[in-house]
Amino acid sequence: METRYQNANILVVDDEPADAGLLKRILEQAGYVHVHVLADGREVIRQVIEFSPDIILLDLRMPEPDGFEVMRLVHEQITHGDFLPILVVTADGRQTTKRRALASGANDYLTKPYDRPEVLLRTRNLLHARFLHWDLRTRTDSLEDKVREQTQALRASQMEILIRLAAVGELRDDATGQHTRRVGDLSAQVATALGVLTKQAEMIRLAAQLHDIGKAAVPDSIILKPAKLTQEEFEAMKRHTTIGAEILGRSEGPLLRLAEEIALTHHEWWEGGGYPNGLRGEDIPIAGRIVAVTDAFDALTHERPYKHAWSVADAVAEIRHLAGRQFDPDVAEALFQVVMPGSEPPRSSRSQGET
């Protein structure tokens, strides 16, 4: 006998000691080494949990609960997708009883007195089905794991490509090409300061790096212009929000859906008047409100073709001045906690630079 069958856990449930003992001897003489006999149907569920049987040989005529009730309880206990075969062993050979047993979840039916070869054949066949089911489930789980890993790798590659594309766009007005990374890191810190869960803050860190991906479609003459933009040029610049959302749109993945949301809304204003849709207050998604502040802070504190870098204190003072108008005041306060912990941000009368 193969080791797998030899080591199968077999549970015999029969309140007649002679019948249960006979089944145990037949099975053990055939080479099965884990045969457990139970006379009380009330103990079956505990044995299913503790003994983890691979098959149950179950008598129908027992005191409460009888075999039919035991089958019901066992099937309630089995995890969805599991297969625990039940071989009914009974002295009742009536067709109505047999049909009822099979309808109640029995997988096979054996009548007393026992025929030794038949007991062994039916037991082995059900064990074979049990092990085939187990092997199939294991392979399915393994395949699902591989598909999950490949899907995650594909999404990671897709995300990397998009981040690199966003960084290429930033290189035109940020010599280091690190603006996107800085905005992502700072956005995650601000999100955490606001009480956002770690997993969601990490998603914001990644998605925020794509906030300006639409700038890839904005001409260099506008991106690199060292002077104030004309109204026509500013309208072209504003389109980077909708273009970015179009680039990232129609994705089924939550990360890219979040990135689309940020790209579209990070220039909306708390009191309205922002672009592209003139949203206001909490109609602006929280991730968009966070990136609005972190993007502005990073743009102010780093040199751009149209401006010199501001000090952290001046940038913080400017954002404080605009909190409640352009920026969500709670998000602004969270930024202050991150960039100037323990300090009272100074106030400034400086005008806001282009962000």
Domains of the chain: 3-143 (3.40.50.2300), 171-339 (1.10.3210.10)
Q: Hey, what are 242's tokens?
A: 């909708």
pLDDT of residue 182: 93
pLDDT of residue 174: 60
Q: Is pLDDT larger for residue 6 or for residue 146?
A: 6
Q: Hey, what are 93's tokens?
A: 């050979």
pLDDT higher than 70, residue 176: no
CA-closest candidate to residue 292, choices 352, 217, 229: 352
Helix 286-300 × helix 198-208 angle, to 10°: 50
Pairing assessment for the beta strands 34-38 and 86-90 based on DSSP bridges: unpaired
Question: Among the ranges 100-109, 175-184, 210-219, which has the highest mean pLDDT value?
Answer: 100-109
Write out pLDDT tens, residues 286-297. 999 999 999 999
pLDDT higher than 50, residue 350: no
Strand partners, 109: 88
Helix 179-193 × helix 329-339 angle, to 10°: 110
Collect all residues with Cβ–Cβ distance below 8 Å to 297 and sequence separation of at least 6.
Answer: 186, 315, 316, 319, 335, 339
pLDDT band at 354 (very low <50, low <70, confident <90, very high): very low
Question: Among the ranges 56-65, 227-236, 242-251, 269-278, which has the highest mean pLDDT value?
Answer: 269-278
Q: Hey, what are 63's tokens?
A: 């005191």
pLDDT of residue 138: 79
pLDDT higher than 50, residue 49: yes
Judged by average pLDDT, the poorest of 158-162, 216-220, 262-266 is 158-162
pLDDT of residue 154: 74
pLDDT of residue 64: 85
Q: Hey, what are 253's tokens?
A: 């993945």
Measured distance CA(30)–CA(11) in Å, rounded: 16
pLDDT higher than 50, residue 87: yes
Q: Hey, what are 41's tokens?
A: 């149907």
Pair 263, 241: CB distance under 8 Å = yes
As a whole number, the mean pLDDT across the chain is 88
- Amino acid, res. 109: Y
Q: Hey, what are 176's tokens?
A: 């280091």
Write out pLDDT tens, residues 309-327. 999 999 999 999 999 999 9
Question: What is the percent of the chain where pLDDT is above 90?
Answer: 63
pLDDT band at 341 (very low <50, low <70, confident <90, very high): confident
pLDDT higher than 60, residue 195: yes
pLDDT of residue 2: 84
Provide the Cα torsion 156, 161, 167, 169; round to 10°: -150
Collect all residues with Cβ–Cβ distance below 8 Å to 83 and sequence separation of at least 6.
Answer: 129, 130, 133, 134
pLDDT higher than 70, residue 348: no
- Integer CA distances (angstroms), 212 to 105, 246, 262, 267, in order: 60, 12, 9, 10
CA-closest candidate to residue 241, choices 206, 208, 272, 265: 265
pLDDT higher than 70, residue 171: no
CA-closest candidate to residue 223, choices 281, 305, 333, 165: 305
pLDDT of residue 118: 94
For the residues 93-111, what does the mean pLDDT come to? Answer: 93
Strand partners, 93: none
pLDDT higher than 70, residue 236: yes
Is the pTM higher than 0.85? The answer reads: no
Q: Is pLDDT larger for residue 26 or for residue 4?
A: 26
CA-closest candidate to residue 42, choices 17, 62, 22: 62
